[in-house]
Each structure stands twice: as structure tokens, then as C-alpha cells.
Amino acid sequence: MQEIAKQLQSLLGPRGCLDDPNDIAAYTSDLLALKTAAPVCVVRPATTAQVAAIVQYARKSKLAIIPQGGHTGLSGGAVALNDRDNDSDSVILSLDRMTAIREIDTNDNVMIVEAGAVLANVQTAAREAGRIFPLSHGGEASSQIGGNLSTNSGGNNALRYGTARDQVLGIEVVLPSGEIWNGLRRLRKNTAGYDLKHLFMGAEGTLGIITAAALKLRPAPSYRETAFVALAHPQAGLEFLRLLQSHVGEAVTAFELLSDTAISAALTLSRVRFPLQTRYPWCALIEADTPSSHFDISGAIEEALSGALEGGMLLDAVIAQSETQRDEFWHLRESIAFAMIEDKSALLSDTAVPVAKVAAFISRAEAVILQIVPGARCVPFGHLGDGNIHFNVQRPEDMSGDTFKNHWPDLLDAIVKVSLSLGGTISAEHGIGRTKQRIFSKTSAEVELNLMRALKAAIDPDELMNPGALF
Ligand SMILES: Cc1cc2nc3c(=O)[nH]c(=O)nc-3n(C[C@H](O)[C@H](O)[C@H](O)COP(=O)(O)OP(=O)(O)OC[C@H]3O[C@@H](n4cnc5c(N)ncnc54)[C@H](O)[C@@H]3O)c2cc1C
């Protein structure tokens, strides 16, 4: 083991390879408190050429590679687990030294960034250039572009801009063969053969290491409206979303559905103020924006809100009067995710159903959960605009965390069963990683799994890349 670390240190320099347990602890802990295994060492390349050199070395030494970005993933994809045979003899390859924003071109509306660039820094750089990079979610302060593309993350603005893969024009990848594929094209149209870049997005590091990306920039909005509204039930949320879109079209960027149990969890964790006079069973945080001064977005939103209030579709509504108030709305929303991660016995799920089925999904899931664990607290919330509801479940107050965790497999199976019966998926944005494999293989069509395995075998025949994740 020490010999391997020594050889990698000579390839990468002392900062490029860590093997002291104190130094690698930060790379092996897991947000979900999964029991992780120590890798042989953590390698931290500074260039694409160094990534390729590590892969070539790992091939020769029969070492597996676990790519790691900002380490905010919620399915155990970026760490080895200590109860798994196939996670042994691995190195964690962290992209945390490859953070450069190589270029911003506002004529092509493209920016070229290294994979280790933190999402929040990419957003800031785009803003400073008079554009936006719209991908945004609760993990943005630490998650990296490479991790976002590898999980095909979604987040708050997928309703308008799509998921991570929709933000990409080209990528650079180090393949399991050790070759570098420079696919950093900045073309808006290209029908020359298979669109290979999409293979690596959502692949969770199982097909290669993304080292850089050419990302799309979008016009920066100049006018924005943010509102917090109360609803009697989720179906009213969908009706309001459609009403809103009939007023402002594609200007709606976010529509976050929040159950009152989710709001309670957030308010317990953070000191943020609840924005309405009284509590309601359901709320939604909505946002719309435009770069155009010719479009009266405030007037259109106010008209939609007053129509919905008069017709009973909404029970209450408040429009943010300042950036500070807008930040408070969003802080409340993001605190839900943090509160759920903080509660180590809470079951997290990441399903999506067709948007029109969200209300049915929530009521059916709640019914089956309460049959399995009476008194369990259902905490659904999420991105209503794209059907992605995090149906999380907290233990009954009089049940211990360990007892509740014994029910996790049955609860997750039940939630997934409801989602699939409505044409949904088991994972909409967090990926399969090492925590959802059982249910992934159990619920996927054989023909799909075989296609995925055939791709894996063609690109990574020695199973060098992130073994134990996905399959
Ligand atoms: C509070 C909170 C809220 C969140 N909200 C959302 C949300 O709304 N939407 C959402 O989609 N996610 C959300 N997440 C989850 C997480 O932030 C995303 O999954 C993110 O994309 C992970 O990026 P990362 O850089 O941290 O990747 P990591 O966790 O380090 O890795 C994730 C996976 O990608 C692989 N990988 C990482 N970098 C590379 C690379 N360069 N090349 C190849 N493979 C790589 C890893 O091997 C692993 O399989 C949230 C997380 C937190 C903590």
C-alpha cells in the first residue's frame, strides 16, 4: 500500500497524493453517515495530463478509481463502502485542484471550466460576465461541475432550463484506457454520429473522469418576481403553475412545492421567518424572470396571483419586496434539504412522476407509508414543475432511529412502487450510487440493464472506474 502511495506521489508531487489517515478523513466521510472504507490513498491531480497518468498507473496496478467532486452527492457514489467486496483496493481521485475557469466567451455564450470548479463559483463568474449559468441547488456551495454533470443534477431551475446535461456543449474526459477525449466543442448543432458527451453525464463516474466542460451561458434576467403562496393541496399547485405559465410563458423558473411538515423541519433547523400570517397544509415558492424591459413581468404575476386568490386556487400569497426577503424565502426552502440530511434516521427518496401525477403520487405514497409504520411523519417537498418530489419520511416520535432504519427497505420499496405504477422513476437527480443499486436492478427492465452493462463493458472492460457504483 505504502509503495503505491509513494509511486503516485512521485507522479503527482506531495500535494497530489495523500495517504495519512488524518489528511484523507475529509474525503472519506459521507453526508448520509454511510460507513465508508479507507482507500489506498487520495490522488489530487492538477492537470488533465496528470489524470491520464493516474488512470494509466491504476490500470497497470489493478487499482480501482473512485472519482470525487465536491462530495455532496446523496447516494454514496463518491466513496467506497466498508461492507462491500468490490470496493476494495481503490483510490479516490479528487478533482479539487482542477478549479480553473479557462475561458468565458459572451459572443458564443459559452464558458470553459475545469471539472473541479465549484458550482457557486461558476455561477458568480457567469454573472460577472453579464450572463447566468442557471443550474442551482442546495449543494451548490461545494458541489463541482464534474459532479453535477456526472449525476446529471437537476435543482431549482430545471423547469425552465433543464437538468445539468442541458447546460453542456462539450466535455473533456479521461477514458478508462488512459486516453484523453477532447470533446470540448462549443457547437449548438452537431449531428455527426453518436452524441458521446451524453454517455458520461449521469454516468456517476463509471465510464471515465470528466476533466473539463464547455457550458452554455444564458442571458441575465433584469426583472424578477418571487412569491410564496399557500395551497389547500398539491393539485392546486399544478393548476396554479399552468395558470402562471398562461400569463408569463417560459419565464417561470422555479415552482417548489413544500408540505407543512417539510416547513416545520426547516423551521426547527434554521431561524428563518415563515413568510405568511398562518400555516397551511401546502405552500409553494415560485419565481419568474425576464431580461426584457418590454415585458411587464410584475404586472403579469400580480394578475395571475389575484386571479388565483379570487378563484380559491390559492389560499394566501406574498410577493418578495426586496432581495433580502427573496433570500429568506429561498433560505426556508433550502433549509428543508439540510434538515433532512441532518436527521440521520430520516429516509430520503428522490422519485419523479409525470407532473400531472404528482398529487396522486403524494397521497398514495403517504397511505402506504402509514400502513407500514403508523405514526411515521411524511415530509414530501420538491420541484413540482418537473415532477421530482423528495418523498422523505421521519420516524414516529416514540420510535428509536435504529428501529425506524430497519423499516427503510420496505418504506423505500413502497414509495418506489407507487412512483413506478404512475410512470415514474426511482431517481430523478441524485443517481443510483451505492445506496440504490438493489432497487435499481430490481426495478429496471432487463433490456435496459443489458444495454447499460454492454456500454460499461465496451468502455471500461477492466471495471476500473467506480466499481460498486450503479451496477
Ligand atoms: C443540501 C443539499 C441539497 C441538494 N439539492 C440537490 C438538488 O436540488 N438537486 C440535485 O440534483 N442534487 C442536489 N444535491 C445533491 C448533490 O449536490 C448533487 O448530486 C451534485 O451534483 C453532486 O456533485 P459533487 O461535486 O458533490 O459530486 P460528488 O458527490 O463528489 O460525486 C457524485 C458522483 O459523481 C461522480 N463524479 C464526481 N466528479 C466526477 C468527475 N469529475 N468525473 C466523473 N465522475 C465524477 C462520483 O464518482 C459520484 O458517483 C443536494 C445536496 C445537498 C447537500
Hey, what CATH class is 223-341 in? alpha beta
Index of the ligand 1 atom closest to the CA of residue 150:
34
- Does position 354 have pLDDT exceeding 90, yes or no? yes
Q: What is the pLDDT of residue 88?
A: 53
Cβ of 126 less than 6 Å from ligand 1: no
Cβ of 48 less than 6 Å from ligand 1: no
Cα 391 to ligand 1 centroid, rounded to whole Å: 19
Cα 74 to ligand 1 centroid, rounded to whole Å: 7
Cα 143 to ligand 1 centroid, rounded to whole Å: 6
**Mean pLDDT of all residues in the chain?**
95
Q: What is the pLDDT of residue 33?
A: 85
Cα 309 to ligand 1 centroid, rounded to whole Å: 38
Q: What is the pLDDT of residue 346?
A: 97
pLDDT band at 81 (very low <50, low <70, confident <90, very high): confident
- End-to-end CA distance of the chain, in Å? 27
pLDDT band at 292 (very low <50, low <70, confident <90, very high): very high
Q: What is the mean pLDDT of residues 30-59?
A: 94
CATH of region 343-447: 3.30.70.2740
Cα 382 to ligand 1 centroid, rounded to whole Å: 17
Among candidates 27, 30, 61, which has minimal Cα distance to 44?
Answer: 27
Cα 80 to ligand 1 centroid, rounded to whole Å: 15
DSSP state of 161: H
pLDDT band at 387 (very low <50, low <70, confident <90, very high): very high
Per the CB < 8 A criterion, the answer to whether 76 and 34 are in contact is yes
Cβ of 116 less than 6 Å from ligand 1: no
Q: What is the mean pLDDT of residues 69-80?
A: 95
> Worst-scoring range by mean pLDDT, 18-32, 122-136, 411-425?
18-32
**How many Cα atoms sit within 13 Å of 461 on the Cβ side?**
2
Give the CA-trace dihedral at 26, 28, 30, 31, to 10 degrees: 20
Q: State the cell numbers at 310.
A: 379570487
Per the CB < 8 A criterion, the answer to whether 294 and 286 are in contact is no
Cα 378 to ligand 1 centroid, rounded to whole Å: 25
- H-helix or E-strand spanning residue 442: helix 437-443
Q: What is the pLDDT of residue 84?
A: 53
Instruction: Quote the percentage of the chain above a pLDDT of 70.
Output: 99
- Does position 344 have pLDDT exceeding 70, yes or no? yes
Domain ranges, ordered by start, for the chain = 2-94, 101-219, 223-341, 343-447
Residue minimizing CA distance to atom 52 of ligand 1: 139
Residue minimizing CA distance to atom 5 of ligand 1: 138
Residue minimizing CA distance to atom 50 of ligand 1: 139
Give the residues across from 68 on adjacent strands: 94
Q: What is the pLDDT of residue 141?
A: 97
Q: What is the pLDDT of residue 363?
A: 97
- Does position 87 have pLDDT exceeding 60, yes or no? no
Is 417 buried (19+), middle (13-18) or exposed (0-12) by CB count in 10 A? middle
Q: What is the mean pLDDT of residues 17-35?
A: 91
- Does position 86 have pLDDT exceeding 90, yes or no? no
Cβ of 380 less than 6 Å from ligand 1: no
Cβ of 148 less than 6 Å from ligand 1: yes
Cα 336 to ligand 1 centroid, rounded to whole Å: 18
Most informative mutation of 74, 114, 142, 167 for ligand 1 (most atoms within 8 A of CB): 74
Cα 254 to ligand 1 centroid, rounded to whole Å: 20
Cβ of 430 less than 6 Å from ligand 1: yes
Among candidates 232, 268, 256, 262, which has minimal Cα distance to 392?
Answer: 262
| Cα radius of gyration rounded to whole Å, the chain | 23
- 101-219: CATH, from 3.20.20.330, 3.30.465.10, 3.40.1190.20, 1.10.3720.10: 3.30.465.10
pLDDT band at 14 (very low <50, low <70, confident <90, very high): confident
**Whole-number Å distance between alpha carbons of 266 and 333:** 8
- Does position 460 have pLDDT exceeding 80, yes or no? yes
- Does position 173 have pLDDT exceeding 70, yes or no? yes
Index of the ligand 1 atom closest to the CA of residue 210:
42
**How many Cα atoms sit within 13 Å of 265 on the Cβ side?**
26
Torsion 395-396-397-402 (CA) sign: negative
pLDDT band at 1 (very low <50, low <70, confident <90, very high): low
**Whole-number Å distance between alpha carbons of 347 and 413:** 12
Cβ of 163 less than 6 Å from ligand 1: no
Instruction: Quote the percentage of the chain above a pLDDT of 90.
Output: 93
- Does position 83 have pLDDT exceeding 90, yes or no? no
Torsion 202-208-209-212 (CA) sign: negative
Q: State the cell numbers at 132.
A: 447566468
Cβ of 333 less than 6 Å from ligand 1: no
Cα 368 to ligand 1 centroid, rounded to whole Å: 30
Among candidates 394, 389, 398, 391, which has minimal Cα distance to 414?
Answer: 391
What are the helix (H) ranges across 201-351?
234-248, 260-269, 297-310, 323-342
Per the CB < 8 A criterion, the answer to whether 230 and 280 are in contact is yes
> Worst-scoring range by mean pLDDT, 56-65, 76-85, 315-324?
76-85
Cα 286 to ligand 1 centroid, rounded to whole Å: 24
Would strands 168-174 and 209-216 be described as parallel, antiparallel, or unpaired? antiparallel
Fold: same for 2-94 and 101-219: no
Q: What is the pLDDT of residue 330?
A: 97
Cα 140 to ligand 1 centroid, rounded to whole Å: 9
Index of the ligand 1 atom closest to the CA of residue 149:
21
Residue minimizing CA distance to atom 41 of ligand 1: 146
Cβ of 203 less than 6 Å from ligand 1: no
Residue minimizing CA distance to atom 36 of ligand 1: 147
Beta-carbon contacts of 25 under 8 Å, excluding residues fewer than 6 positions away, are none
Residue minimizing CA distance to atom 17 of ligand 1: 139
Per the CB < 8 A criterion, the answer to whether 130 and 116 are in contact is no
Per the CB < 8 A criterion, the answer to whether 135 and 155 are in contact is yes
- 2-94: CATH, from 1.20.870.10, 3.40.50.10470, 3.30.43.10, 3.30.930.10: 3.30.43.10
Length of the chain: 471
pLDDT digits (tens, 9 = 90+) for 206-227: 999 999 999 999 999 999 999 9
